[in-house]
Structure 1
Amino acid sequence: MASSLTKDSATPAPEKTFLGHPIGLATLFMTEMWERFSYYGMRALLVLYLVSGGADAATGSQGGGLGYTAAISTAIYSVYVALVYLMAMPGGWFGDRVWGARKTVAIAGSVIMVGHVALALPGQISFFVGLLLVAAGSGLLKANISTMVGHLYKGVDDPRRDSGFTLFYIGINVGAFAAPLVIGTIGETVNWHIGFLLAAVGMGIGLLVFLLAGRTLDPKSSQVPNPLTPAERKAVIVKGLAVAAVVAVFYTAVTMAGMFTIKWALYPITIAGLIIPVAVLVRIKRDKDLTPGEQGKMSAYIWFFVAAAVFWMIYDQGGSTLSLFGDKNSERSLFGWEVPTVIFQSLNPLFVVALAPIFATVWVLLARRNREPSTIVKFSVALAIVGASFFVFAIPLSQTAGNDTKVTMWWLVLIFLMHTVAELCLSPVGLSVTTKMAPQKYSSQMMGVWFLAVTAGDCITGLLGLAEVKMNGVGVILFQAAAAALAGLAIYMYRKKVDALVEGTK
């Protein structure tokens, strides 16, 4: 009996799993799902809250907002989204050199939650402080939580790795789908600030799961891969304080002179959001350590980057220009129920979940027949479709221009469907090609570079809004549609040259 007990006690306990994957995936799945729930819920409300109480708010809509014009509201929204993706690069740096991925995600979740609480408080100061905190926290978290998913698997050859990231991606879309239905609907129809507070609760649940189940994560997630030396840490602190002092002195002077407006805060961020991506690409391209082959791939990658920026410029207006149009100019009655405007923000994640398996199957079937389109062709198709979506958008816009006519909401459903089809042609492919074309020296940083394409695209929209351009004007919409279509045609015409530079990368 003693011998049997000894033998049994020496047998290792079976590994706990989540759908056949390391149990830590469940922790990260839930954390990311709730973080996306808070992010997309607040984002669905953002533009509607900004125009509420002003001339551009829909007739009969809830008051109590900030009363900005549609153009400025679109600029604020675009700059906010741009900041989230811009912060992904320093977020990755903090994870690699200061706190480690696990601690960075915990801090990020706390910052996001506090930011949503600030949004829930009345007043413009607390609102914009909250917006900055949510943007900074989202960037920190976004850059590190995917890295932690990778830590769960034993190297890149683990057969469960790809399906693990697929499950993680499903968590993102579950959160994104549910957020407008819950946070958005309550915020739009009951009270804006209750909606923002629900976003804080969502992030709080995700943070609690992450902290309580932290033992399920891989120990590598707690390590700092490349910690700062004492000299580097001192230099970073000095530079950070110097920049903060300059900014504080500048804005104090502007405020004391009575010149401060929201544009003084938005213009520097918007311009930086355009300059930084260009500077990063130029720095990498000019690096003399790159081999001729890597130089060629970087030349090709710039084409993909520009194409992606044009794409996101249009795509991300789903939460601003399209949302405002839906609120003011769409007939949203469905079986006697007035569909809240925010519900349309759930269409994209719903379509992604429905269509992504179909696209994956189609690409595999075409590859077996050696007929799968190259990456550059997929990009050109994505630009053509997203451009076509704004040509379609121009039709209901022209019907409602200058009058109180309302059009069927199915125009919006069609446009969001087109956006999703275009996204599935570009976004997953872009992530893949970024990893394949990254120079060895910049293998970790290139994913952050890809996110900068979103920053650049949204900053273009932000500049248009700051210039008081009427973003829902028929001419502006047609111009953007034509720009996307021409960009798609241009890269398609040069596809053989770009494919040669890529050297067969699909």
Structure 2
Amino acid sequence: MKQRKHPKALPYLFLTEMWERFGYYLMIGIFTFYLKDVNHGFEMTEAESASLYGTFIALVFFTPFIGGLLADRLLGYRLPIILGGLMMGVGYCMMGVHSFTMLYTGMVLVIAGNGLFKPNISTLLGNLYNTDEYRGQKDEGYNIFYMGINVGAFVCNIVSAFLMNKYGYSMAFAGAGIGMFIGVAVFLTGNKHYKSGDVKKVATPGEKPWWIDLSIVVVPAVLFAVIGYFINGVPSETNEHSFLVKDDVTDAFLFACIPVIFFFGYVLFTSPKNERRVVSAILVVCLAVIPFWAIFKQNGTVLNTWADNYTNRDVPKSISKGLKGMYLAGTVKYEKSKDSIQVLDNQFRKVGNEKTIQYPSYFKNYQKTDKLKPGQELVVFNSNIFQSVNPFWVIVLTPLIVGIFRFLRLRKMEPSIPVKMTLGLFITGLSCLVMVAAANASMNGEIKSSLWWFFGAYGVITIGELCLSPIGLSMVSKLAPARLTALLMGAWFISTSIGNKLSGVIASLWDQYDDKSSFFMLNFYLMMGATLILIVLLPWLLKIFREQNK
């Protein structure tokens, strides 16, 4: 059998992305906890932190459109990756300095840096496979690359737990920055292997300069965002002047999407006829996966809250002393308030000189309080450790999924990209049902939920993720016309951006659902709706994909 070959650059890009994701997911894993923490954070409510989280990760995935366009036409791919990585590293370190000014400045650097880094490392990888020698291995290459993402995402939460328990938030954020700087160093080490893929696109006759395309999108998006933020609407309980929703920032984001949608419509209808069907197929798939990201990205909001407040995080006694000694697990103290509701000091929000309960405490729904004495400490897993469950499953399942698809490919039975993505949406919907079962099994949060529900839900959603996310990157790289590769890669990231923002919007509804199983059912219905839409469009998509593979 002929040995499968990959470009020499793959290990360097794998390790670069691994360290970049190490930093990003370390930061994301503690971000909402930091915002809500009363003693060491910013005392935000669940809805406030979810809204800011959604806006942040939405913008993180919106700027790749700009970064991809600049790289495509002006800068090439290597320089933006280096600059973006350095900006993110500095941004992570700044976020750990406790002030709103430093927090928001750091967030801006991360948003801008990711815009330069994220689309271009993916495009650079795809370009390296655009030769007869490697072309047939592109899907597999992206899956290997995707595993690098998740090795970093798995390890970072363990490191984060150590840094948090021993030093606090500042050092944890600094650890994210150091990880990013290591990623840049690794990328520079493999610089000579990227030359064949670092090719700027040559403008075709009559094609508009890059800065015109950029201004067509960015300037109107900024103007629409300002209009969305300041336009007055129907008064609500939390916002007197919001127009579409209860949050002016969300209004601004939704308004900013309007010129972006019109821009991609313009790109579609001004493309040559031989390209138009392919571009339309890519854009339709980008729209279809928005609900996936709206559900998947709740891992940093709703599922973080579920882990923190509703999941039994007790460390087994046999390993509790060792983990505590290594600062890989924390402690919580059992105390009683005057009204006999068990609470934790860091679960209070100050109101004047008094304290009121802000969030359900660890002991409020703890089943074994009758066996505890006031002042007794329990050793528990850090809540952010549960962020490692998804990357754990990716590492475990990626070889299996790749092997299954390779087995089917050799027998000419491999599902096409549209079929894989449809399966991905459907399977993601099933993961919501696992959380419905978790809510019911815990009597709607009245008692602690088993941590195995987490493993089950993440195991199911990871299968859906592997059928969708890396395949989507490969799809754009394979099918996009050469002159539009980075632009359409930007469209993929914008669809991710919109989904990320919707994840924050949905998560902000969490406190309004007394029946938590109904909240997860809402997610299920959203995924089934997206799946049905893609099923209806499947014959049309399959026809286009078959034409391109001839």
Q: If the TM-score is normalised by the length of the shorter chain, which range does it land in?
A: 0.7 to 0.9
Structure 2 matches for 1:195-206, cutoff 5 A? 195-206=172-183
Supply the AA of the counterpart residue of 1:30. L
Supply the AA of the counterpart residue of 1:313. A
Summarize the Cα distance change of 1:431–1:165 in structure 2 as closer, same or farther, 3 Å threshold: closer
Match of 2:133 in 1: 158
Deviations 1:434-477 (A, max 9, x none): 34443465234222212222112122223345678747843232
Judge conservation of contact 1:116–1:134 (CA < 8 Å) in 2.
yes
Deviations 1:410-440 (A, max 9, x none): 1011111111011112223323333444346
Summarize the Cα distance change of 1:287–1:43 in structure 2 as closer, same or farther, 3 Å threshold: same
Match of 2:298 in 1: 317
Deviations 1:51-73 (A, max 9, x none): 222xxxxxxxxx41222222222
Judge conservation of contact 2:126–2:474 (CA < 8 Å) in 1.
no
- The partner residue of 2:16 within 31, 47, 64 is 31
Tell me the distance in 1 between the aligned counterparts of 2:520 and 2:228: 36
Match of 1:44 in 2: 29
- Could you tell me how far 1:167 is from its partner in structure 2? 4.8
Tell me the distance in 1 between the aligned counterparts of 2:178 and 2:388: 19
Deviations 1:325-355 (A, max 9, x none): 1111000234234222212211222211221
Summarize the Cα distance change of 1:353–1:111 in structure 2 as closer, same or farther, 3 Å threshold: same
- Asked if 1:416 corresponds to 2:462, the answer is no
Q: Greater shift after overlay, 143-152 or 106-115? A: 143-152
Tell me the distance in 1 between the aligned counterparts of 2:495 and 2:222: 26
Judge conservation of contact 2:123–2:477 (CA < 8 Å) in 1.
no
Match of 1:186 in 2: 163
Match of 1:127 in 2: 103
Structure 2 matches for 1:43-442, cutoff 5 A? 43-53=28-38, 63-149=39-125, 156-159=131-134, 162=138, 167-187=144-164, 190-211=167-188, 213=189, 216-219=192-195, 225=201, 263-273=247-257, 275=258, 278-287=261-270, 289-291=272-274, 294-336=275-317, 337=320, 338-400=380-442, 404-439=446-481, 441-442=483-484
- Could you tell me how far 1:39 is from its partner in structure 2? 0.6
Match of 1:449 in 2: 491
Summarize the Cα distance change of 1:21–1:289 in structure 2 as closer, same or farther, 3 Å threshold: closer
Tell me the distance in 2 between the aligned counterparts of 1:394 and 1:239: 40
Judge conservation of contact 2:301–2:504 (CA < 8 Å) in 1.
no
- Could you tell me how far 1:369 is from its partner in structure 2? 4.1
Q: Which residues of structure 2 form unaligned runs of 5+?
A: 233-238, 321-379
Tell me the distance in 2 between the aligned counterparts of 1:284 and 1:242: 16
Tell me the distance in 2 between the aligned counterparts of 1:272 and 1:189: 42
Judge conservation of contact 1:388–1:485 (CA < 8 Å) in 2.
no
Judge conservation of contact 2:17–2:183 (CA < 8 Å) in 1.
yes
Judge conservation of contact 1:33–1:206 (CA < 8 Å) in 2.
yes
Judge conservation of contact 2:311–2:448 (CA < 8 Å) in 1.
yes
Tell me the distance in 1 between the aligned counterparts of 2:480 and 2:198: 26
Aligned length: 470
Deviations 1:89-137 (A, max 9, x none): 1111222344332221221122111211211101122112212211221
Judge conservation of contact 1:188–1:342 (CA < 8 Å) in 2.
no
Summarize the Cα distance change of 1:306–1:470 in structure 2 as closer, same or farther, 3 Å threshold: farther
Deviations 1:199-225 (A, max 9, x none): 1121222234445x3653444677755
Identity, % of aligned positions: 28
SS of aligned partner of 2:133:
coil
Q: Greater shift after overlay, 74-83 or 39-48? A: 74-83
Supply the AA of the counterpart residue of 2:83. I
Judge conservation of contact 1:299–1:501 (CA < 8 Å) in 2.
no
Supply the AA of the counterpart residue of 1:308. V
Summarize the Cα distance change of 1:406–1:504 in structure 2 as closer, same or farther, 3 Å threshold: farther
- Could you tell me how far 1:37 is from its partner in structure 2? 0.9
Tell me the distance in 2 between the aligned counterparts of 1:281 and 1:225: 19
Could you state the TM-score of these two structures normalised by the residue count of structure 1?
Answer: 0.79
SS of aligned partner of 2:86:
helix
SS of aligned partner of 1:492:
helix
Deviations 1:253-296 (A, max 9, x none): 99xxx9999944454135435x35533442233225233xx434
Supply the AA of the counterpart residue of 1:417. G
Q: Which residues of structure 1 form unaligned runs of 5+?
A: 1-18, 54-62
Supply the AA of the counterpart residue of 1:269. F
Supply the AA of the counterpart residue of 2:253. I
Could you state the TM-score of these two structures normalised by the residue count of structure 2?
Answer: 0.73
Supply the AA of the counterpart residue of 1:195. A
Tell me the distance in 2 between the aligned counterparts of 1:241 and 1:370: 48
- Could you tell me how far 1:194 is from its partner in structure 2? 1.6
Deviations 1:216-260 (A, max 9, x none): 344467775569x9x977997999899989989999999xxx999
Judge conservation of contact 2:32–2:50 (CA < 8 Å) in 1.
yes
Tell me the distance in 1 between the aligned counterparts of 2:304 and 2:96: 21
- Asked if 1:478 corresponds to 2:521, the answer is yes
Tell me the distance in 1 between the aligned counterparts of 2:104 and 2:241: 14
SS of aligned partner of 1:158:
coil
Tell me the distance in 2 between the aligned counterparts of 1:378 and 1:241: 37
Supply the AA of the counterpart residue of 1:315. F
Summarize the Cα distance change of 1:223–1:115 in structure 2 as closer, same or farther, 3 Å threshold: same
- Could you tell me how far 1:139 is from its partner in structure 2? 2.1
Judge conservation of contact 1:117–1:130 (CA < 8 Å) in 2.
yes
Tell me the distance in 2 between the aligned counterparts of 1:233 and 1:439: 20
Tell me the distance in 1 between the aligned counterparts of 2:277 and 2:221: 36
Deviations 1:381-428 (A, max 9, x none): 222221111122122224556754211011011111111011112223
- Could you tell me how far 1:183 is from its partner in structure 2? 2.0
Tell me the distance in 2 between the aligned counterparts of 1:327 and 1:188: 15
